[in-house]
Amino acid sequence: MMSSGRRPRGRRGPAFPPGTKAIFETIGAVLCCLALAPGSAAREGDRFAAERRVMVETQVAARGIRDPAVLEALRKVPRHLFVPAELQAEAYGDYPLPIGEGQTISQPYIVAFMTASLGLKRGDKVLEVGTGSGYQAAVLSLLAGPVYSVEINDRLARRAAETLRKLGYANVRVRSSDGFFGWAEAAPFDAVVVTCAVDAFPPRLFEQLAEGGRLILPLGDSRTFQTLTLVTKKSGRPVVRPLIDVRFVPMTGEALKKR
């Protein structure tokens, strides 16, 4: 039932001490200004949180990703803080974005697909090859245990490490080195994520995989398209399962010499 907004005759509002009305009006004006102030942190945070929810529902869950922990991680990680400031308005779009140094942040669905394919458990030790912006590492950190991330580009490595530190992802370690060689002193890993294309999976990464561990990587011609491939270590041997077609930027460093 709609109301006319008029007070019924014969009724009076509750009695308040003198001056209370002025106090309420002042508080109301302040709250109104805080809520409506352009660019306020609360309003901006709410907008991006809403965009994350829409992203998860329309781009990820709608395409078949059902793992509730993965979906929740994507709802939590502020993707817009892992892209250049001028691209934050596009952070939750259904496409990759440039992050500088000729590199990109993968589209949300691919991040979700790769993460879900690993079947991570709390406490799993994870190696990521290709830190990039640090976004994938942040997602992994909410699902596993320690995350070791390697980035060959020193500028990207330092920037990602700083972003992850500021946002409180304390279980992620980042270093600048050639991901082709992995992170031997931290091995073995329960899972390895490679976020750059390779013609053949690097043997060092498979060696650093624990028995029963999973390695996911874009495998194929690094100059064109690849197949996202899941490799499981069983009895010391690789069990290979092709998943979906993708296109990633190529792995650099030693991998280029092996081409």
* pLDDT tens digit sequence for 204-222: 999 999 999 999 999 998 7
pLDDT digits (tens, 9 = 90+) for 149-168: 999 999 999 999 999 999 99
In a domain, 152, yes or no: yes
The domain tally of the chain equals 1
pLDDT at 34 over 90: no
* Residue 8, pLDDT score: 33
Residue 174's DSSP bridge partners are 149
141 has catalytic annotation: no
pLDDT digits (tens, 9 = 90+) for 85-94: 999 999 999 9
In a domain, 73, yes or no: no
In a domain, 17, yes or no: no
In a domain, 135, yes or no: yes
**Using an 8 Å Cβ cutoff, are 82 and 133 in contact?**
yes
**Using an 8 Å Cβ cutoff, are 194 and 208 in contact?**
no
Catalytic residue among 3, 40, 106, 235: 106
In a domain, 30, yes or no: no
pLDDT at 113 over 90: yes
pLDDT digits (tens, 9 = 90+) for 215-256: 999 999 878 899 999 999 999 999 999 999 999 989 998 877
Q: What is the CATH number of the domain that holds 140?
A: 3.40.50.150
In a domain, 84, yes or no: no
- Helix (H) or strand (E) holding 237, with range, is strand 237-246
pTM across the whole model: 0.82
In a domain, 226, yes or no: yes
pLDDT at 169 over 70: yes
User: If DSSP codes are grouped into helix, strand and coil, which group holds residue 12?
Assistant: coil
pLDDT band at 23, cuts 50/70/90? very low
Full domain range(s) for residue 126 = 95-258
Kind of pairing between the strands at 189-194 and 126-129: parallel
In a domain, 185, yes or no: yes
